Structures are given as structure tokens and as C-alpha cells.
Amino acid sequence: MNNRDTLYSTPVETIGDWVFNDEIVKVFPDMIKRSIPGYSNIISMIGILARSFVKPNSNIYDLGCSLGAAALSVCRNVSAPNCTIVAVDNSPDMIRQLRQYINNIKTKLNIVILENDILDIEIKNASMVILNFTLQFLKPLSRLKLIQNIWEGLNPCGILILSEKFSFEDSKINKLMSNMHYHFKLANDYSKLEIIQKNQMLKNVMLTDSISTHKTRLQKVGFVHIEIWFQCFNFGSIIALK
């Protein structure tokens, strides 16, 4: 599945809110590659981090797993015995496609795929939890609850990987980063029309936080060792260690 994303290359008569439906799923790998700077680096390094943090007889959670890129990166890099990856997403179309893909490949770790709201998932015996561009789609009031659940279910010395699009408290920096991202998408052959229409669809659905907001939230639930390990423009990833 490697279809070119041309979904919004022509004017959309009625622009609603963004939904991860079947038409998005069909072009998702291309869309992510051309929209999120550094995405492939983050996915690769999640696997590398997993080598150090995933322990035998533990669980790895990929919350908001979409098509399972992060979970599969862990699978490619970890051979610890008796480990299970729990991949969760609330999009039926994403989950259906992921199940079809997983059924056709061999993986070193057991993968459990769940179509569910990540807020309803019990985190337990976790050596690694991945939130890869997921938290930004939750309602702001639900974000602390999820991070608290992760903290409680994460084993000592476990790791949370939190990748997000960031907003910036300095308005000039925020504008600069947004402008750099805009030109990144233009350089990846998205038209101005495509960029505008996607932004309109996402504006009520993807509500970003500043880096300091993320860090404060993580500290509030108990994380002490917190830092950005990757950033490109207004996209980045934070590690939090228990």
C-alpha cells in the first residue's frame, strides 16, 4: 500500500473535521512522509530505544497506532522473550488495514491489535509506551488522565515516547516554525490548496500544546527525567523515564 496522497488537490465543496477514514488510510504512508518532518527518523529511533528499554516478560503499548509503524519498528529491533505489543487505535479503517498487514508477515514479538479508545485501555506491566502523534488529537482535558494511566502502568525504568506537533509560546517563533513547515510541505509537492484545505479540516481536531505544557503535565504525574530527543521545526519527540 503506497498510494499517492492527492485527496485534497481539488477544491472540497464542504470542508468538515478531519477523520481517519478509509480514504485517508489508503494514502496514509505517503501523507505522513510528506507532511511530518523527521517522521522516518523518529520511527527508526523508537526501535533503537526499544533495544535498551524493552525487558523480558513485559508489554509495549503503541497508543494511537494507526498502521503500526512504531510497533513494527519495535518488532524489528527487540528479541526479548515473552513480550507483547499492544497496538490500539479507534479508527476501524486503520485497524482493519493493520490486521490485514500483520496477518501476512512474521513478527518476532506477539502483537495484539485492539480497536478501542486509548483512554479505556488499562496500561499494565509496561516497559515502553508510545504516543506517536496521538495526544494532540485528544481533548485537552483528557490528556492528563491518559498520561496518569501510563505512569501508573509503566514499570520502574520504563520509557514513554511522546511525539507531537508543538505550538510555541513566543509568537514570532511560532510563526517562523509554522512557516518552515508550510514550505516543507510545498517542497514535498503539496499545493497551496491542499495545505489550506487540510489545515482547515484539522483546526478543530488537532489542538497542539507547547513543549513546556507537555513537560509540566509529565512532571505532574510523577515523571522526573524528561527531555526532547528529536525536533524538526514544530514537530518533535519527548522521552520520559520512570
User: Residue for cell digits 488537532?
Assistant: 206
Residues 85, 90, 95, 97, CA torsion sign: negative
Q: Is 113 annotated among the ligand-binding residues? A: no
Q: Is 132 annotated as belonging to a binding site?
A: yes
CA-wise closest residue to 204 among 136, 132, 112: 136
Residue 64 counted as an annotated binding residue: yes
65 is in an annotated binding site: yes
Is 118 annotated in a binding site? The answer is yes
Q: First and final CA of the chain: distance in angstroms?
A: 37
Number of neighbours of residue 158 by Cβ within 10 angstroms: 24
Question: Residue 76, Cα to own-chain centre: how many angstroms?
Answer: 18
CB 132 within 8 A of CB 100: no
Q: Is 117 annotated among the ligand-binding residues?
A: yes
Bridge partner list, 237: 163, 230
Q: Where do we find the cell 520520559?
A: 240
Show Cβ contacts of residue 168 under 8 Å, excluding neighbours closer than 6 positions: 174, 177, 210, 211, 234
- Between CA 199 and CA 238 the distance in angstroms is 24
Q: What is the DSSP letter of 109?
A: S
The answer to whether 2 is a known ligand-binding residue is no
Is 127 marked within a binding site?
no
Residue 237 marked ligand-binding: no
- Where in 25-150 does DSSP place strands (E)? 59-63, 84-89, 110-115, 126-132
Residue 131 burial (C-beta neighbours within 10 Å; 0-12, 13-18, 19+): buried
Annotated binding site: 39, 64-66, 89-90, 117-118, 132
Residue ranges for the binding site for S-adenosyl-L-methionine?
39, 64-66, 89-90, 117-118, 132
